Structure 1
């Protein structure tokens, strides 16, 4: 595109100072989906798909931090002009019988982190180091895989109404609307953001707190936030550490007011419209893809009819009719924002009762600003301002939010239980009220092998350091306990998990006596926390919540 070539291209080449002011967007908005033109070629090795071993579980695509691994299911005749080296196999899912299935890698956008290979469960029985996806040198594969990638991108996206979003193996064919970001290799935050855009990105507004997510999400000259073939994608804007929650609440209030105005105008214009159409528009359920699709069709029909109706109300409704379609607000940021600097605002927003979704990318440290301690940092971890190990326990943000009773709360870790991660996101978005999702996000600041970051997530859960749960107020309506504990009692001691990460190990090397004391206290923290959560999960339901 001309703007990408003539403006962004100059910036990428380090010649942005030569651009005239007139070339810059006057309103500060930049086109989305422009990271696809960078093609950084960072990886020495890229993942290569083995069709003989693949079980089509979708895990490799789900954990990919940069959305370079894509999956599609499609009709066989579309392969008639496929490149000679393009790979496909018969789709194994019974819902896709007779269709073809492909996993494709974007060779020039992959960072070579290898996290996809680490999570792949399909192994060669005669050579256990060979999986259904394996790292191979990029240079000899680059040209052919570029051709394959270009062909793959042209294959049609599967109709979202045909996808069972509660199943990872099906859900992962959904197109990501967050791709090729500048996040670290093996980043633990971006898989969650990508998943949100796959599920809800075509109807979402995102309020982003300053931090890592603002650097890899909105740093000039390009943006990874993109749009689908219908031109729909997330509307993203960044705010400050201290006010991002309120920023997102403002979006929700504005959307609700726009919808209120649209309903009022539709009611006024109703005598000049088909009664069945008006009733359907006003009473539409929009709980799934099919229902949202139907509402979009009705709104399109409404706009057509409004074009031939005179009057101010009809013309105003023509401008606001899209507000009748469900839109989500996602408030996204790190633990430095949610636990510390923006906590007062976050608490205010959760208490408002408004329908907003909060996603906390919890790295347990101020990652972007250099690794300072936050209130999320666990006891015993070394960080800036805690060089002798943090002496206080981690703040339990989820437990605080649960005290309101009307906030959906979940603690998730994709590397430990990806099905629970998916389920929590779906439930949070469906809940008509505030939701808070706290996502364990492994980080380079932890001092770990980033290609095995999902193992650290799993160990955190299995040690009891990061229990998984969902608190859903809607369950009270059925007489069920709103608190569901999704992980089991600890299988390994906390110390075993700590020994996997340099942020804990360095304390043993520098101050062994302090480490001994703090590690013992950390174990006690985990035991106490688990006892509390077990009690919450087992307690009798005393009220229907009405």
Structure 2
């Protein structure tokens, strides 16, 4: 196949990050004035109508992941926002089966500004289910979804086991046993679900079996394993919602937490949070913060059964994608803390250099990359 990276001229915020970090010797992208790029509007309209080619390349690599359709697009975030690239990548990896709970803050504003929303669907109509919680109860909100999902899928498994003991087609029994065996394996689960849906759509040769099949079909949205994510900023995770976050991580349940760490309360204008480092000047810390940054990752590690990682996309795209995949596959709670440069930082080089800023933060030893 040949491919082209097509930009939506009318939706681009013009920050320039993509052009700045392009690794090619001859840049694949060059920033030009809007009025010189009107021809690209037609190209975008054409490109958006081309059918998606699934599984052309492995999606668990940096390059491969970018052939997956983002199920997050055209948000209302600041141009060059450090948070949105992480949300985009997560939806490319897991978006068609994601449930997202979002703490109030910047990510709930760019994530759900009525009457529009940047979360979208693929060609099959599948996409992230997104909901905004209060500031303080986001982790518990996501935890409730995890428990609900667990209960519904457990009910499906009970129905499946009951069916498998009945006098039905051996092929149906095989499909049922494969679904039960691969219930928590996303790839195997997709394949067995497709077979189950095809079989349950017909006559199983037994009245009672058909009744059970109908009950399973009523719950068909839960046949495929869901990926539950809790999004929020450092004001939520380190401060106002920390009690709930700690409780949910301690539960041992399979939930993924993504913290957009801007190191200040971004949405309300840059007030200091517990994520603000010592000496930093921010609102409520005009003479420099007097105490050091809370080590949220280390605190979560102390449980011994929580997957914990710190990432910075601009420093290592490979480590970022590996972290998301490992966190999602881990059968237990995961906490991913992502470094997010923000307009409140007053970056001298401008918001077109936020990805570069992430690399500089890691190179200088200011921000550490790890997976635990």
TM-score by length of 2: 0.94
Q: Is the 8 A contact 2:306 2:334 kept in 1?
A: yes
Aligned to 2:49: 154
Aligned to 2:316: 417
Q: Which protein, 1 or 2, shows the higher relative CO under an 8 Å CA cutoff with sep ≥ 6? A: 2
Out of 171, 190, 193, the position equivalent to 1:293 is: 190
Q: Report SS of the residue matched to 2:344.
A: helix
In 1, the alpha carbon distance for the partners of 2:204 and 2:195 equals: 15
How many angstroms does 1:228 deviate by?
0.3
Deviations 1:367-425 (A, max 9, x none): 00111110000111111110111111000000000000000000000011111001000
In 1, the alpha carbon distance for the partners of 2:122 and 2:28 equals: 29
Aligned to 1:135: 31
C-alpha change, 1:184 and 1:299, in structure 2 (3 Å) is farther
User: 2:366 aligned with 1:469, yes or no?
Assistant: no
In 2, the alpha carbon distance for the partners of 1:422 and 1:258 equals: 30
In 2, the alpha carbon distance for the partners of 1:406 and 1:396 equals: 17
Aligned to 1:218: 112
How many angstroms does 1:332 deviate by?
0.5
User: 2:248 aligned with 1:353, yes or no?
Assistant: no
Deviations 1:64-102 (A, max 9, x none): xxxxxxxxxxxxxxxxxxxxxxxxxxxxxxxxxxx1111
Aligned to 1:454: 355
How many angstroms does 1:292 deviate by?
4.2
Q: Report SS of the residue matched to 1:205.
A: strand
User: 2:177 aligned with 1:282, yes or no?
Assistant: no
Q: Report SS of the residue matched to 1:280.
A: helix
Deviations 1:455-491 (A, max 9, x none): 21111111211110000xxxxxxxxxxxxxxxxxxxx
RMSD between aligned residues:
1.6
Aligned to 1:426: 325
Q: Is the 8 A contact 1:295 1:325 kept in 2?
A: no
Aligned to 2:281: 382
Deviations 1:134-188 (A, max 9, x none): 001111322x21111111112222213x431232111111000000000000000
How many angstroms does 1:269 deviate by?
2.6
Aligned to 1:36: none
In 1, the alpha carbon distance for the partners of 2:365 and 2:131 equals: 36
C-alpha change, 1:387 and 1:284, in structure 2 (3 Å) is same
In 2, the alpha carbon distance for the partners of 1:163 and 1:297 equals: 22
Aligned to 2:74: 180
Unaligned regions of 5+ residues in structure 2, if any? none
Number of residues of Structure 1 aligned to a counterpart in Structure 2? 364
How many angstroms does 1:229 deviate by?
0.4
How many angstroms does 1:363 deviate by?
0.3
Q: Is the 8 A contact 1:303 1:321 kept in 2?
A: no
How many angstroms does 1:306 deviate by?
6.3
> Which has the higher Rg, Structure 1 or Structure 2?
1
Q: Is the 8 A contact 2:179 2:189 kept in 1?
A: no
Q: Is the 8 A contact 1:299 1:321 kept in 2?
A: no
Aligned to 1:262: 156
Aligned to 1:103: 5
